[in-house]
Structure 1
């Protein structure tokens, strides 16, 4: 992997399209009684959260854990597609999540991006329950340097693709922040999920 330059903004408008279309079309679980949970308005961001920890040096992430929703998944690097959109993990590996490896690594100053499928044709995938997260939940990211970056969730929101707030989600941050993204919102069997669930978190510890 080449040297990164914190170019998180590169994935702005196109990224939400890739995430939504990459895990949404014609899925078994979308739109029925087993539809994935969606965040309530009570989990929307009131402020940016408090108690930020000092930034860590750059180090690629290898695993993400979200105990509150029983996520414990390996991470793979994601790039951009030929159209400039954020790529997604292979649909046939539902337990795999990915991170945007040309941007910020989780724990260093800036906005790190993690994305994964909500489901596939066989059932729930890695971030099926992402919309059930609450403010204050902990997200742990194991890093290649042997350390763990610990983030605290300060908002969980759902957006329609047409109203996706690029700057709010992908914009640069002055402290270590993390976004975890999957499909969400309304569902159509012809076009898939109509939006995205986005978790906002900031670094509050390391080990």
Structure 2
């Protein structure tokens, strides 16, 4: 046993301090469980608080070449969602697109490349629920070497990709790259909650 404060060793040395209880370890942070995938419901509005975006969403299809149509250039504040893919919050990869700018000036996703991991993208659906996605990473890919499978491939959980143009701009060819935000579902807000948050 450790001697108490008044005890001395055989040689008369100074007393050994009483043993102190070791400090309690800080409580472990438990990771919040991811929400279950949502049933299908079309996207209606998209908000990205970190870059002050709140915009209506319209459904888009593919052209004859299999490329996703862009939102109309005469309404640069619109976001497009690939309506033939998973809806936001449903299991799989939902895809949203928007212009960076148009001939008339800046557009809805001008600052998309400024997003950081941990930022959120909130998609309000037709059923009133808001699917909250947390950004995992942001990448810029040259259009000639665009990784289709990585960006558009299937996922076993609800994920979201948000795309716009990026890289160098050429007046004849347009932008040389695409900015892609990778995010996954981390929360679901009930109807009306997104407006208060």
- TM-score, normalised by the number of residues in structure 2: 0.78
Bigger radius of gyration among the two? 2
Which secondary structure does the structure 1 equivalent of 2:169 belong to? strand
Q: 1:87 is matched with which residue: 44, 69, 80?
A: 69
Which secondary structure does the structure 1 equivalent of 2:150 belong to? helix
Q: Name the counterpart of 1:45.
A: none
Q: 1:58 is matched with which residue: 40, 43, 46?
A: 40
Alignment of 1:19-30 (within 5 A): none
**After the TM superposition, which segments of 4 or more aligned residues of structure 1 sit over 2 Å from their partners?**
50-53
Which secondary structure does the structure 1 equivalent of 2:139 belong to? strand
Query: Number of residues paired by the alignment?
Result: 158
Q: Name the counterpart of 1:160.
A: 142
Question: Larger RCO: Structure 1 or Structure 2 (Cα < 8 Å, ≥ 6 residues apart)?
Answer: 1
Q: Name the counterpart of 2:181.
A: 199
Query: When you count helix as a share of all residues, which structure comes out higher?
Result: 1
Q: Distance in 1 between matches of 2:33 and 2:88?
A: 17
Q: Name the counterpart of 1:11.
A: none
RMSD between superposed Cα atoms in Å: 1.1
Which secondary structure does the structure 1 equivalent of 2:34 belong to? coil
Q: Distance in 2 between matches of 1:89 and 1:191?
A: 19
Which secondary structure does the structure 2 equivalent of 1:68 belong to? helix
Q: 1:113 is matched with which residue: 73, 83, 95?
A: 95
Give CA deviations for 1:64-94 in whole Å, capped at 9, x if unaligned.
0001011100000000112221101101100
5+ long unaligned stretches in structure 2: 1-31, 190-197
Q: Name the counterpart of 1:74.
A: 56
Q: Distance in 2 between matches of 1:67 and 1:118?
A: 17
5+ long unaligned stretches in structure 1: 1-49
Distance 1:51 1:154, change over 3 A: farther
Q: Name the counterpart of 1:28.
A: none
